[in-house]
């Protein structure tokens, strides 16, 4: 299937997020693809609050089935969560389970004034009542395929489609 | 390096090569050690937050089974379990059924009938944790928190974690382990972990009476003299003089031990200028280490305790997920 251009979608997403920016808006990227996007958004939007990153491995609901992720990066929230307006950033919104985990983790840092979600692609297939306020595009992806964001050595973002080995977002 | 043959023979690994129990650092492949250290790095961030807890082991029961006294190790295992949201039960065995004659395996059988998911075991007999691991159903995980003179793997892991935090690359370090090597399960576990992680030169410095026979076979360089042994060293790992394990008089006096092997500022000056000093605790000030060094700026003894919690959280969550 024909995949959209990730750089073009990122430009769309940037303008949508820009529309709602306030002085207390902070971006938090979810590893791995979400962090790449959040870095670019943060740079494009010139936000004053530093960028946050989350690795939701300790909050996933499938630990009992698949155990701990083999590679975990430290989460880092370098601003005061209490009272801030947070935009979570992820590459692909699918079942909603990663977002559930991310929101739970975020609340262990403090009580944000609001949390919104920016996703490059909404591929449907939700298993939880989650919605993104900012979306690059909506794309119908067969359920046996995995859609992943990739980053080239030069930093250019692109999308790839894989056969799914296990349920993954 | 490892291969399929050694993997299947290692009682700590399951058939997929994942860590099932943590009994010793001996024979653990470097990727497993590094996975523990990397995971611990993420838990350091968790322990610095307002809410120092993650829901990972919610609903799991962890039994701290201490047949030997311990404050720091038992407490840090307890805190680690609680920060993973597990339910933790501490058993002070000296005051329980064992004094009424129950055997070790009967004790653990009874506790596993209470639906334990993990046992943290400290015992004065070498091999106690192995015995329990062989005896239990495979879904129950065992962590050795020190068995006799044999092994104390989580201490060694927190030591190498601390070293990595201050000295980025293991592959160009000179490390000296100083003191009572003979009675030290910590030293054995440290040596295995350091050599597996690629430290090119591990020294042991001790009087002959406090060294095990043929210690060179572990791949270490032996010194009996601090002046030679500490030269150009990056990391000093001090050991406690274990009075309670001294079967016979191996030393004339603790004063004489301090004179030759106690770490003072003068002796520390023989090592590299940016050398760090570790000690597993509890310290005997004025015996193996001088207060000026223990409280000095090259000491990383208290950070070791803090990192110990993150390392134990990493071990528990990797085991529970295997």
Q: How confident is the model at residue B3 (pLDDT cuts 50, 70, 90)?
A: very low
In this predicted structure, the answer to whether residue A26 has a pLDDT above a threshold of 90 is yes
The verdict on A73 touching B (C-beta cutoff 8 Å) is yes
The verdict on A74 touching B (C-beta cutoff 8 Å) is yes
* Residues of chain B neighbouring A56 (CB-CB closer than 8 A): none
Residue B319 near residue B119, CB atoms below 8 Å: no
Give percent of chain B above pLDDT 90: 81
Tokens describing residue A138: 């909506």
DSSP characters for B97-140? GGGGT--HHHHHHHHHTT--SEEEEEESSTTHHHHHHHHS-TTS
Q: How confident is the model at residue B1 (pLDDT cuts 50, 70, 90)?
A: very low
The verdict on B242 touching A (C-beta cutoff 8 Å) is no
Tell whether the torsion through CA atoms of B183, B32, B235 and B217 is positive or negative.
positive
Residues A62-91 as b/e (b if ≥16 CB within 10 A, e otherwise) read ebeeeebbeebbbbebebebeebbbbbbbb
Q: What is the pLDDT of residue B244?
A: 66
**Does the ipTM exceed 0.90?**
no
Among A73-77, B47-51, B230-234, B235-239, which is the least confidently predicted range? B47-51
Taking CA–CA distances from B44, the nearest residue in chain A reads A74
User: Closest to B38 (Cβ–Cβ): which among A63, A72, A110?
Assistant: A72
Helical axes B153-166 vs B185-196, angle rounded to 10°: 50
Q: What is the pLDDT of residue A123?
A: 96
Helical axes B72-83 vs B30-47, angle rounded to 10°: 80
C-alpha–C-alpha distance, residues B104 and A8, integer Å? 65
C-alpha–C-alpha distance, residues B193 and B174, integer Å? 14
CA distance B32 to chain A (A): 10
In this predicted structure, the answer to whether residue B123 has a pLDDT above a threshold of 60 is yes
Q: What is the pLDDT of residue B96?
A: 60
C-alpha–C-alpha distance, residues B29 and B18, integer Å? 11
Taking CA–CA distances from A58, the nearest residue in chain B reads B56
Q: How confident is the model at residue A70 (pLDDT cuts 50, 70, 90)?
A: confident
**In a 3-state reduction of DSSP, which class is residue A89?**
strand
pTM of the model: 0.92
């Amino acid at each position: 299937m024909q995949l959209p251009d990730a750089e073009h979608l990122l430009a769309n997403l940037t303008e949508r997020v820009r529309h709602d920016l306030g002085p207390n808006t902070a971006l938090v990227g979810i590893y791995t693809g979400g962090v790449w996007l959040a870095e670019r958004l943060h740079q494009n939007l010139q936000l004053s609050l530093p960028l946050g990153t989350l690795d939701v491995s300790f909050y996933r609901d499938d630990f009992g089935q698949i155990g701990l992720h083999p590679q975990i990066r430290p989460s880092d929230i370098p601003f005061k969560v209490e009272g801030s307006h947070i935009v979570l950033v992820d590459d692909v919104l699918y079942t909603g389970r990663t977002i559930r985990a991310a929101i739970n983790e975020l609340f262990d840092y403090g009580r944000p004034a609001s949390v919104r979600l920016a996703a490059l692609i909404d591929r449907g297939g939700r298993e939880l009542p989650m919605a993104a306020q900012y979306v690059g595009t909506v794309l119908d992806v067969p359920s046996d395929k995995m859609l992943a964001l990739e980053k080239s050595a030069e930093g250019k973002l692109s999308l790839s489609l894989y056969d799914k080995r296990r349920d993954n977002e | 390096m490892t291969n399929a043959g050694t993997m299947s023979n290692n009682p700590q690994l399951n058939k997929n090569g994942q860590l099932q129990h943590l009994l010793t650092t001996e024979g653990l492949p470097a990727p497993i050690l590094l996975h523990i250290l990397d995971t611990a790095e993420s838990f350091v961030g968790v322990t610095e937050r307002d809410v120092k807890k993650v829901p990972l082991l919610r609903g799991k029961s962890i039994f701290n089974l201490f047949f030997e006294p311990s404050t720091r190790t038992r407490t840090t295992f307890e805190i680690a379990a609680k920060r993973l949201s597990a339910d933790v039960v501490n058993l002070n065995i000296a005051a329980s059924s064992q004094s009424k004659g129950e055997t070790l395996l009967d004790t653990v059988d009874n506790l596993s009938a209470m639906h334990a998911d993990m046992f943290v075991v400290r015992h004065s007999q070498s091999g106690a944790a192995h015995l329990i691991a062989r005896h239990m159903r495979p879904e129950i995980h065992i962590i050795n928190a020190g068995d006799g003179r044999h092994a104390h793997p989580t201490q060694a892991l927190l030591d190498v974690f601390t070293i990595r935090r201050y000295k980025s690359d293991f592959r160009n370090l000179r490390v000296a382990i100083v003191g009572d090597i003979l009675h030290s399960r910590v030293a054995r576990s440290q040596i295995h972990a350091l050599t597996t992680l690629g430290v090119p030169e591990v020294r042991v410095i001790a009087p002959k009476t406090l060294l095990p026979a043929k210690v060179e076979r572990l791949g270490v360089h032996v010194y009996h003299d601090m002046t030679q042994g500490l030269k150009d060293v990056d990391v000093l790992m001090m050991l406690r003089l274990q009075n309670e394990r001294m079967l016979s008089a191996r030393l004339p006096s603790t004063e004489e031990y301090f004179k030759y092997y106690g770490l003072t500022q003068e002796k520390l000056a023989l090592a590299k200028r940016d050398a760090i000093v570790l000690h597993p605790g509890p310290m005997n000030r004025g015996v193996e280490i001088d207060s000026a060094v223990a409280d000095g700026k090259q000491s990383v003894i208290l950070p070791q305790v803090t990192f110990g919690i993150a390392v134990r959280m990493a071990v528990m969550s990797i085991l529970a997920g295997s």
